[in-house]
Amino acid sequence: MLVDEIYEAGVVPERWPQVFDKLAGIAEGEGAMIFAAAPGMPRWCSSAAIHERVDRWTRSPFAQNNPRSERLFSNIETRFLTDLDRFTLEELDKEKFYTEVLRPDGLGWCVGTSIGVPSSDMLVLSVEKAYAKGPVPRETAEQLDRLRPHLARSAILAGRLGVDRARTAIATLEMIELPAAAVTRNGRVVAANSAFQSVSATVGIGARDHVQFSAPAIQTMFVEALDTPVSLARTGRSIPIAATSASAPLIVHVLPLRLAGLDVFTGAVSIVFVVAINQQGSPPPELLQTLFDLTPAEARIASMLIDGHSLTKVSKLQGVSLNTVRTQLKSVFAKTGVDRQVDLARLLGQRRVRVV
C-alpha cells in the first residue's frame, strides 16, 4: 500500500525513489523529487528516471531562483498545485525556465506541494510531467492531496531521524572525548557535543550557529572543504591549526556524514571533529564504526591498517583468512569512499589525542 511505503521512506530514505515513482504514476509523470528550498547548494533526491535532468537543473542559474518556485511554492499551502493554478499558458510560453530548461529536457509540467519541516526552511515535493503529455489536471492534484498529510508526516519523521542520527554520531565522539559537530554545507551546526563548544579559542560556534575559526585562512579552507562533499568522500579533509599562546596545535577533520540521503531533510552533510596533536595512532574502532557504518570486524581491520599493519599481519592477528580480510577491506573501501590503503590512512590516520 502506498501510504505504508511513504512512512517506510521516512525511516529508510533509500525508499523515497520508489515512492516518487508511484506518485509519478498517479500523475502520468516521468518522475518525482524532493527539493530542500534553503540557502546554499541544492539538496534533493529524485526518481532514477529524472535524476540526470534534475541534476542539470540544480546546476543551472535557476536552481535557487525560478518563477515556478516563486509562484507555486513560495508559501506553504496544504494542497498540491499545478502550473496552471498560478500561470496562464501565455505566461508559461514566455518564462525562460520553462522554455530553456524544462522543455528542452522533455519536461514542462508539474504538480507539487511545499512542506514546512523544523530542520529545514522548506521542502518541495514535485512530480515532473513531460511537456508533450499536456498539463496535470486539477483532479490529479486533488487525488494527491489525499496523500499529502502522510507525505508531510514522513518528511518530518525523516528530518527528525536525520538529526537523531547526527546526534548519535556526535555523542559517540564525546564518549571518546573528541569535540565534534554535524554541519550543513554552509557550516551551520545541526548538532554539537559540549566539548566542541569549548574546544579552543581558535574554533567555535559563532553567529547564526555557524562554525567559526579565528584565522581567516583556516575559515576559507573550511568553507572550501564543505563546498566539495563529493571529493571529501574520496580523501577527506584535514586542516591543521597552528598553536597560539592560548591553544595547543590542532587538526580539524572534515568528514562526510553518511546519513543515507537524510541530509536532504536535515541539511547536515559533514561531521567536523577536532583533535590536539599529541601522539600518533589510528582512530579507535568505535569511532570508525560510527562514522562509516562499519561492522565491528571491519572497524578493527580499518584501524589496524591505518596503523600500518599489512594484510597478512591483520589476518594473523584477527585469526581469519587473508581472503576474508580482503573481502572486509573491500567493504571498508566502499563505505569510506576510498580505494587504497594509503588513502584510508590519509583520511583518518592523523594523530589523535585527549580533549583540549
Question: For the segment 100-158, what is each residue's pLDDT rounded down to a tens digit?
Answer: 999 999 999 999 999 887 655 688 999 999 999 999 999 999 999 999 999 988 888 88
Which residues of the chain, if any, have pLDDT below 70? 38-41, 118-121, 172-173, 176, 228-236, 257-263, 266-267, 277-283, 287, 290-293, 337-338, 345-356
Residue 292's pLDDT is what?
A: 66
Say how far apart CA 129 and CA 335 lie, in whole Å.
35
pTM over 0.85: no
Residue 356's pLDDT is what?
A: 28
Residue 306's pLDDT is what?
A: 79
Say how far apart CA 218 and CA 234 lie, in whole Å.
21
Residues near 98 by beta carbon (within 8 Å), at least 6 away in sequence: 68, 92, 108
Residue 225's pLDDT is what?
A: 82
Residues near 17 by beta carbon (within 8 Å), at least 6 away in sequence: 45, 46, 47, 48
Residue 231's pLDDT is what?
A: 42
Residue 149's pLDDT is what?
A: 93
CB 34 within 8 A of CB 51: no
Say how far apart CA 196 and CA 180 lie, in whole Å.
5
CB 352 within 8 A of CB 275: yes
CB 309 within 8 A of CB 317: yes
Cα separation values, 35 from 10, 55, 73, 122, Å: 15, 11, 11, 8
Write the DSSP symbol of residue 308.
T
